[in-house]
Amino acid sequence: MIAIHCQLQKLLLEKSIRSQFMIDRVNIQAFIYTKVPKTAFLLLQRVTSRGGFWQPVSGGIQNNEQPIHAIRREINEETGITEILKIIDLNYSVTFGTSKNNIPMKMKDICFGVEVVDIPTIRLSEEHDIYKWCSMDEVLTHLDWEHNQTAFKKLCSMIGLSM
C-alpha cells in the first residue's frame, strides 16, 4: 500500500512538473551516422498513415527513463541497431505544438547525433517503410521540418563537416 502511494505521488509530481511547463511529451531525435566507408546519415520515412515524411530516429522518453536510455531503445526499436560507437548531445531542443488523435499537444524534442561503426543491416519497425543512407546534402533535401534541419546542421558542425 505504501509503495503504491509513493508511486502515485511520484506520477502526480511528474505530471505537475510537465504541466507546469505545459509539455505533454518529451522526445528524443537521433541522427545516426557513420564515417565508414564514407560519411553517411540514416533517414527513415514514416508510413503514409503517419505523415510519410523523412526523419531521424525519434520517439518518446518513457516515465523515469533517462534520455541516453531512450536513445538506445528507440534506435533498436526503429532500426534494429544495437552497436553504438558514440552519442553526441547536440545541445539543441525545440518545443512545438501538434495534435495526436485530434487532441492538441505540446512536444519537446531533444536532439542527438549517434555514430555507428559502419553501415549496419536495418530492420524497420511498423512506423517506417523506407530507410536511406544519405550524403550531407541529400539529408537537407529530405527533411521537411526546420528543427530537424537545424539539429542536423549542428551535428555536421560538431563532427567537422562544413555546409
Task: Give the number of other CB atoms < 10 A from CB of residue 79.
Answer: 22
Give the chain's domain count.
Answer: 1
Q: Is residue 16 part of a domain?
A: no
Q: Give the CA-trace dihedral at 45, 50, 56, 57, to 10 degrees.
A: -110
Q: Is residue 130 part of a domain?
A: yes
Q: Is residue 48 part of a domain?
A: yes
Q: What is the pLDDT along the chain (163 residues), one digit of tens a residue?
A: 444 444 545 444 444 444 445 788 999 999 999 999 899 999 999 999 999 999 999 999 999 999 999 999 999 999 999 999 999 999 999 998 888 788 888 999 999 999 999 999 999 999 999 999 999 999 999 999 999 999 999 999 999 998 7
Nearest one of 117, 97, 99, 116 to 107, comparing CA atoms: 97
Domain CATH number, residue 33: 3.90.79.10
Q: Is residue 1 part of a domain?
A: no
Its domain, for residue 32, covers 24-158
Q: Is residue 45 part of a domain?
A: yes
Q: Is residue 17 part of a domain?
A: no
Spatial separation of the C-alpha atoms in residues 161 and 56, rounded to whole Å:
18
Q: Is residue 15 part of a domain?
A: no
Q: Is residue 4 part of a domain?
A: no
